[in-house]
A and B are shown apart, each in its own frame.
Chain A
Amino acid sequence: MIAVDRDPSPGKKVQLMATCLCDSFFDDVAVATVEVLEYLKCEVTFPEEQTCCGQPAFNAGDWKSSRKVVRHCVKTFAGDEPVVVPSGSCAAMVFHGALLEFEEESDLPEVRQLAGRTWEIADFIVNGLRVAEWPGKFPAKAAFHRSCHTRETNSGAATRTLLESIDGLELVPFGEGEQCCGFGGTFSVTFPNISAAMGKLKLGNALKENPEYLVSGDMGCLLHLGGIATREGKTIKTRHVVQILRDSLRNGGLIP
């Protein structure tokens, strides 16, 4: 387990970290995050100064550049409220990656302070707000790809708990479910062949079960997998977990 010391009852005033992917491609995921949190009676603020969590440079090994962005992030999300992120990957960057690259920096305590109140959305709902059953309905068959950055965190189990409780939603298991989809950010650029081969493998395994939706907690994975599917002419709808949660509420008439 990745050990994160977090306040077990984080409260309902939250800051949203939308992630740069949602900021530029997947606005509906950020919208759904807000709608879901507000349905749960959270008061959501969106710090306008936010940019990115710093992960691209961190993974590329340019820690100096990454620290610059992390420092900006720490400043932007100042305060004591929980920071909620619709991405296992960006959340893990804040509560694990950043700590690694600040090991020898004097402002490590500030970075750690942010790490200690940053939550991936499903983890926040289940383990922060203690909601284990999701209302509404979503009659469909879906394959859930647990994104890799949620390994050793509570997010994978939390997501399953929520999805499995939705009325009508059938989660189909598929082959080699624990394997990475091959995105890995810059990895998909510098290792184009291996990355695409991994993606095709994942997609093939999932499609064998004929799901209508491919669901994940990370838009990075879905950008990659959805992109391959489109190129190969395969039909599968990609959705972020939080979009499913929101649509379930809508289908049940619980939100407009």
Chain B
Amino acid sequence: MKSQPIDTYASELAEDVRRAVADGSASGYDRRAASLFSDFEDPDFLRRTAGDVKQHTLENLDTYLAQTEDRLKENGVEVHWAGDAEAACRAVLKIMRDNGATKVVKSKSMATEEIHLNDFLEREGIESLETDLGEFIVQIDHDHPSHIVKPIIHKNRQGIARSYEREGLGAYDDRPEVITARARKFLRKKYLEASVGLTGANFIVAESGRLVLVTNEGNSRFCLAGTDIHIAVVGIEKVIPRDRDLSLFLSLLGRSATGQQLTVYTEFISGPRAEGQPDGPRQMHVILLDNRRTEVLASNCRDILRCIRCGACLNVCPIYRQASGHAYRSVYPGPVGAVLSPLLAGEKFSELADLPKASSLCGACKEVCPVNIPIPDLLLRLRDKAKHEGIKSPGTPPMGGWAYLASQPTVWRASLSAGRLMNLMPLNLIPVPALRAWTKSRQLPEWRGGAFRKWMKTRKIGGKDS
């Protein structure tokens, strides 16, 4: 009996990794709740409003994107449109080649993870270095992030200290402050050597062309302090209409992600170095990335584009907590990833069609999402899509026979009392091996099919026969 890939992955996961992921997500969840509910009377109202603003933006994305481009250009920013990952990577490369640049320092960005920019640049002989501590550790380990906010949630400091030793960053020492200080020392000179600073963007404002970056380590500021060229790779769904909308989104993002009222650094970037400004990049490029976002926009799952990548849905998800991010085999894990990743996979949808099944549909993700995305509904729509496309899913019983029975009341009643329905009940149509697996960890109660109907017919109401 084959179970789903994510279930198999979870069952084989090392216990210390599972613990690290479960504890890390649970603490993130607790901090989120504490900060939201202590600061706002009705956080749900904020979530719904933020969701509405984003949905409005998406539904008018053509207008807002044009406006964004105009403002960016007025601000002296060069705008590039990238249809897919390849085009975005090539655009970065071209800017670098045109300027004779060979080294780039990067701050954390999911969009560049999505287009696998580091691998691409490496193949082209360019040194691309992650400067966010977590991403830096992921990079030296040739690993992948397993959480969209805490990329190394699956690691412990002992392992990190060993990696440092291996990479010649110092003898084994697993104290967090030493780990941080060593990365800092190593990265300082790299900031000075590089001529390009690469970032993503958390938001880009249509009315002002302002780019907003939130971080906790200040590394993005360093990336832009010593370099001549700033390149930002930004998904087209990052647009918000007005500067004042930031008050809403920034209030929700920090709290939802890490339980902070505001992240330590919030940068507003309105263009390259202006006349008279002492420092900052002389060139600024924004690469607006589609990479199937317009396809998602055209689908019945477009709400997922509201996502502001806070990671709250990962933290609260019981499946994520058991399975870890790598189980999702894609850049975006957890509930958001279970919707987004198969959609972004395009013609490879079938390879990730199991992701939307990795949910008990408990709805915890929707309850915490700062932009109120109905994630369970979207998961269900993708299950329907997979079924439509004839994609087989391991372990899922066929429903045709059950549907026939459940719409034939006479047969249903007969099967109930005969106990035949047993094989067709909500654990329904379970093939014998699966039922055996099910009852390995749970005992089934006694079969009492039809007993209630009989009671209903023969009982006495207020002493009278019914």
Q: Please give the residue numbers on chain A whose beta carbons come within 8 Å of chain B beta carbons, in ascending order.
A: 1, 18, 20-27, 30-31, 34, 38, 46, 48-52, 54-66, 68-69, 71-72, 76, 97, 100-101, 148-149, 151-152, 176, 178-180, 182-199, 201, 220, 223-224, 226-228, 230-231
Q: What chain B residues lie within 8 Å of A18 (beta carbons)?
A: 452
Minimal Cβ-Cβ distance residue in B for A232: B441
- Pick from B196-204, B207-215, B221-229, B359-367 the stretch touching chain A: B359-367
The CA-CA distance from A148 to B364 in the complex, in Å, is: 8
Contact A189 B453, beta carbon cutoff 8 Å? no
Task: Give the tally of cross-chain contacts (CB within 8 A).
Answer: 234
- Any A CB within 8 A of the CB of B40: no
Question: In the complex, given contacts A34-B456, A65-B403, A227-B439, what are 18 additional A-B residue pairs having Cβ atoms less than 8 angstroms apart?
Answer: A20-B425, A48-B453, A56-B402, A59-B383, A60-B387, A60-B399, A62-B384, A68-B406, A101-B384, A152-B363, A184-B359, A189-B430, A190-B393, A192-B7, A193-B7, A193-B8, A193-B11, A194-B11
Closest chain-B Cβ to A208's Cβ sits at a distance in Å of 16
Minimal Cβ-Cβ distance residue in B for A222: B445
Closest chain-A Cβ to B435's Cβ sits at a distance in Å of 8
The CA-CA distance from A148 to B396 in the complex, in Å, is: 22
Contact A197 B406, beta carbon cutoff 8 Å? no
- Any A CB within 8 A of the CB of B245: no
Contact B322 A194, beta carbon cutoff 8 Å? yes
Minimal Cβ-Cβ distance residue in B for A201: B318
Known: A23-B450, A151-B364, A224-B442. A192 touches B437 (CB 8 A): yes
| Cβ 8 A contact of B406, one of A31, A51, A220 | A51
Contact A189 B322, beta carbon cutoff 8 Å? no
Scoring A24, A151, A183, A201 by chain B CB atoms within 10 A of each residue's CB, the highest score goes to A24
| Cβ 8 A contact of A184, one of B6, B362, B399, B453 | B362
Q: What chain B residues lie within 8 Å of A100 (beta carbons)?
A: 377, 380-381
The CA-CA distance from A191 to B441 in the complex, in Å, is: 12
- Any A CB within 8 A of the CB of B298: no
Within 8 A of A (CB), among B347-384: 356-364, 366-367, 377, 380-384
The CA-CA distance from A182 to B440 in the complex, in Å, is: 15
The CA-CA distance from A59 to B455 in the complex, in Å, is: 31
Contact B363 A26, beta carbon cutoff 8 Å? no
Within 8 A of A (CB), among B436-466: 437-453, 455-456, 461
| Cβ 8 A contact of B3, one of A30, A38, A190 | A190
Closest chain-B Cβ to A78's Cβ sits at a distance in Å of 14
Contact B402 A31, beta carbon cutoff 8 Å? no
The CA-CA distance from A105 to B62 in the complex, in Å, is: 30
Contact A184 B360, beta carbon cutoff 8 Å? yes
The CA-CA distance from A22 to B442 in the complex, in Å, is: 18
Contact B405 A186, beta carbon cutoff 8 Å? no
CB-based closest 9 A-B pairs: A61-B383, A227-B442, A184-B360, A180-B362, A65-B403, A148-B362, A27-B452, A27-B451, A190-B395
Q: What chain B residues lie within 8 Å of A189 (beta carbons)?
A: 395, 397, 427, 430, 434-435, 437-438
Q: What chain A residues lie within 8 Å of B440 (beta carbons)?
A: 192, 231
Minimal Cβ-Cβ distance residue in A for B448: A27
Closest chain-B Cβ to A165's Cβ sits at a distance in Å of 25
| Cβ 8 A contact of B403, one of A27, A68, A196 | A68
**Interface residues contributed by chain B, number (CB under 8 Å):** 80
- Any A CB within 8 A of the CB of B283: no
| Cβ 8 A contact of B441, one of A180, A196, A220 | A196
Contact B442 A193, beta carbon cutoff 8 Å? no
Closest chain-B Cβ to A128's Cβ sits at a distance in Å of 22
Closest chain-A Cβ to B356's Cβ sits at a distance in Å of 8
Q: List 5 A-B contacts (CB under 8 A).
A: A51-B409, A60-B383, A180-B362, A192-B438, A194-B7
- Any A CB within 8 A of the CB of B49: no
Q: What chain A residues lie within 8 Å of B377 (beta carbons)?
A: 100
Contact A191 B393, beta carbon cutoff 8 Å? no
Within 8 A of A (CB), among B306-334: 318-319, 322-323
Known: A31-B455, A192-B3. A69 touches B406 (CB 8 A): yes
| Cβ 8 A contact of B409, one of A21, A22, A49, A54 | A49
The CA-CA distance from A183 to B362 in the complex, in Å, is: 9
Q: What chain A residues lie within 8 Å of B397 (beta carbons)?
A: 60, 186, 189
- Any A CB within 8 A of the CB of B412: yes
Closest chain-B Cβ to A167's Cβ sits at a distance in Å of 25
Mask, B26-69, CB within 8 Å of A = 1, is 10000000000000000010000000000000000000000000
Contact B318 A61, beta carbon cutoff 8 Å? no
| Cβ 8 A contact of B399, one of A31, A62, A178 | A62
Minimal Cβ-Cβ distance residue in A for B445: A25
Q: What chain A residues lie within 8 Å of B451 (beta carbons)?
A: 27
Q: What chain B residues lie within 8 Å of A192 (beta carbons)?
A: 3, 7, 434, 437-438, 440-441
